Amino acid sequence: MEEFVQFGTRDYWIMFGALLVSRGMDALSTWVATPNLVLEGNPIARLLGWRWGLPVNFGCCVLLAFWPLPAVILSTTSLLVAARNFQSGWLMRSLGEENYRHWHVQRIQETPITLFLLCLAGNTFLTAAVGAAVIYFSNRLLLPFGIGVGIVAYAGAVAFYTLLAVWRLRRNEIRREQLMARLRGSEQRPDAQPQLEQVLCGEELQGK
């Protein structure tokens, strides 16, 4: 395929179809796992929501179909993200978004951070190694090269958003401890407990 393709050509519709299916699977798997986007790790997707996220994704499919290499990369990454969502989507949906978030946070808090990071590194590095091998043996052919880059991009996205979530969790825990320490000296006041609960509730909402 050429670096750019013309609208209406066979190659354009192939790229557009691949993007539409892959982005559609990503959206469907997200809806299955977290219909209210409570568990969505991408802050941009959470900001757009379903109302704006779907048309923005459709517009990206229309535009990126002109450029085969990014189209293959995004399609590969989106399909892998969708597969990951479907893997745990049934559990998220059955427990409920808030219950799953609480359960997941508890599991992270009870796990030594070094063990958690080691497992995350094993997951992402091994996945990226597969992508790097595909890139190396692709001989710069567009399709295998784009798939390899997409696999590496997926591994990078998993690492980035997982670390972002852990950082936000630890930041909220530190802020919670600081608030507890600041209010602990006022526990004898009649209004201390309601004040404490109100502040902690606000911190919990900010962490969502």
What total number of domains does the chain contain? 1
Confidence class of residue 42 from pLDDT cuts 50, 70 and 90? confident
Q: 169 in a domain, yes or no? A: no
The verdict on residue 167 lying in a domain is no
Residue pair 168/207 in contact (Cβ under 8 Å)? The answer is yes
Is 0.85 surpassed by the pTM of this model? no
Q: Which two tokens stand for residue 81?
A: 């993200």
Q: Write the single-letter amino acid at 139.
A: N
Quick check: is 75 in a domain?
yes
Is residue 151 within 8 A of residue 76, CB to CB? The reply is yes
Residues 72 and 146 sit within 8 Å (Cβ to Cβ): yes
Q: What pLDDT, on the 0 to 100 scale, is given for residue 186?
A: 59
Q: Look up the domain containing 5 and give its range.
A: 1-98
The closest of 123, 122, 207 to 166, measured between CA atoms, is: 207
Q: 65 phi and psi, to 5 degrees?
A: -65, -20
Instruction: Assess if residue 72 is contained within a domain.
Output: yes
The mean pLDDT value of the chain amounts to 85
In the chain, the percentage of residues whose pLDDT exceeds 70 is: 85
Q: Is residue 21 part of a domain?
A: yes
Q: Residue 109 has which token pair?
A: 């808090």
Q: Quick check: is 42 in a domain? A: yes
Q: Is residue 65 part of a domain?
A: yes
Whether residue 36 lies inside any domain: the answer is yes
**Residue 6 gets which letter from DSSP?**
-
CA–CA separation, 205 and 208 (whole Å): 5
Mean pLDDT of the 50-60 span: 93
Taking residues 167-187, what's their average pLDDT? 71
